[in-house]
Amino acid sequence: MFESLSERLGGVFDRLTKQGALSEDDVRTALREVRVALLEADVSLPVARQFIKAVEKKATGAAVTKSVTPGQQVVKIVHDELIATLAGEGEPGALRIDNAPAPILMVGLQGSGKTTTTAKLAKRLKERDRKKVLMASLDVNRPAAMEQLQILGQQIGVDTLPIVKGEDPVAIAKRAKTQASLGGYDVYMLDTAGRLHIDAELIQQAADVRDVVNPRETLLVVDGLTGQDAVNVATEFDDKIGVSGVVLTRMDGDGRGGAALSMRAITGKPIKFVGLGEKMDALETFEPERVAGRILG
Ligand code: GDP
């Protein structure tokens, strides 16, 4: 994750920290490079601009203490600003799942990793949080997707709602809700249908399901490799359905990572988890400190 961005910033700050004292010009030159690096990492222009402006303001006004070089000071300011840009409120990965059975609605485009993420998160809830979890697929147009969730459920030892042919998504959601109550489940996760593009039917279906179960969390799964597209998808889903958090998948790939930086700034939604591979354990909470550290190298 963030390889190109961290390499780039690493180079910039290496040069910076090797110099003894810094003039305003030095700071400006370095930050210009940071800006280019951010844009190359597919961070959106307004976010990159805002970021640089904030850093510049703090760097210029900051008193340089004796213990650090001006370069180190700028690095620290960039680091802190990265965290501020990335961070959401509350604990990373925290989910509102207190009132059992708590519904979690999983939404996203087809191929984003939604079904895989549903299972990964179910496994995490089961193993780390000791929750009894039920999963249900609402993807009635793609029987293979429903079976995929069932197979993953067997693999991780999490129950899935039995598949009933011909049932519509709202009926499945209602059945999941009933089953979750009767079966003493803490959480039930609804894996909604994915499409290649956001269309009216997809949104309507997700909205209908939302209105029936009143989800405690609506998690949008987006492919982290798609950069600004991921942010656009998030904005649209949030406008139309309302999203409580984002899961960025494929952060194990050598993507440019800009989506993470832009996501919070543009959508106002926290990234709760990142997907780091195909395996069921490859899900981590999104930790701004760690990500900022990785970006700076
Ligand atoms: P859906 O159509 O959104 O439900 O997508 P799937 O869950 O079926 O995932 C599509 C493909 O992406 C599968 O081959 C997954 O194994 C893979 N995938 C999902 N999440 C990740 C991830 O975080 N990293 C990698 N490398 N692959 C992932």
Q: Residues 3-16: what's their mean pLDDT?
A: 68
pLDDT band per the 50, 70, 90 thresholds, residue 114: very high
Residue 123 marked as a ligand binder: no
Specify the pLDDT at position 6: 66
Residue 108 marked as a ligand binder: yes
Q: Is the predicted pLDDT of residue 1 greater than 60, yes or no?
A: no
Specify the pLDDT at position 78: 85
CA–CA dist 44, 59 (Å, integer): 22
The answer for residues whose C-beta is within 8 angstroms of residue 152's C-beta and 6 or more apart is 115, 116, 118, 119, 280
- Whether 152 and 280 have beta carbons less than 8 Å apart is answered as yes
pLDDT band per the 50, 70, 90 thresholds, residue 287: confident
Ligand 1 proximity of 110 Cβ (cutoff 6 Å): yes
Lowest mean pLDDT among 9-13, 78-82, 228-232, 282-286: 9-13
Specify the pLDDT at position 84: 87
Ligand 1 proximity of 275 Cβ (cutoff 6 Å): yes
CA–CA dist 203, 217 (Å, integer): 17
Ligand 1 proximity of 194 Cβ (cutoff 6 Å): yes
CA of 223 to the centre of ligand 1 (A): 9
- Does residue 270 have a cis bond before it (omega within 30 degrees)? no
pLDDT band per the 50, 70, 90 thresholds, residue 25: confident
SS3 content of the chain, % helix, strand, coil (to 5): 55, 15, 35
From 219, 286, 224, select the one nearest 255 (Cα to Cα): 224
CA–CA dist 213, 224 (Å, integer): 28
Please give the residue that has the higher pLDDT: either 265 or 149.
149
Q: Residues 86-109: what's their mean pLDDT?
A: 87
Lowest mean pLDDT among 116-120, 142-146, 171-175: 142-146
H or E segment at 32? helix 24-40
CA–CA dist 168, 166 (Å, integer): 6
CA of 297 to the centre of ligand 1 (A): 27
CA of 58 to the centre of ligand 1 (A): 40
Tokens 């899935």, located at residue: 160
The answer for residues whose C-beta is within 8 angstroms of residue 197's C-beta and 6 or more apart is 109
Please give the residue that has the higher pLDDT: either 98 or 74.
98
CA–chain centroid gap for 70, Å, is: 34
Please give the residue that has the higher pLDDT: either 195 or 240.
240
pLDDT band per the 50, 70, 90 thresholds, residue 17: low
Which pTM value belongs to this model? 0.89
Specify the pLDDT at position 18: 65
- Whether 43 and 262 have beta carbons less than 8 Å apart is answered as yes
Q: Is the predicted pLDDT of residue 71 greater than 80, yes or no?
A: no
CA–CA dist 278, 116 (Å, integer): 8
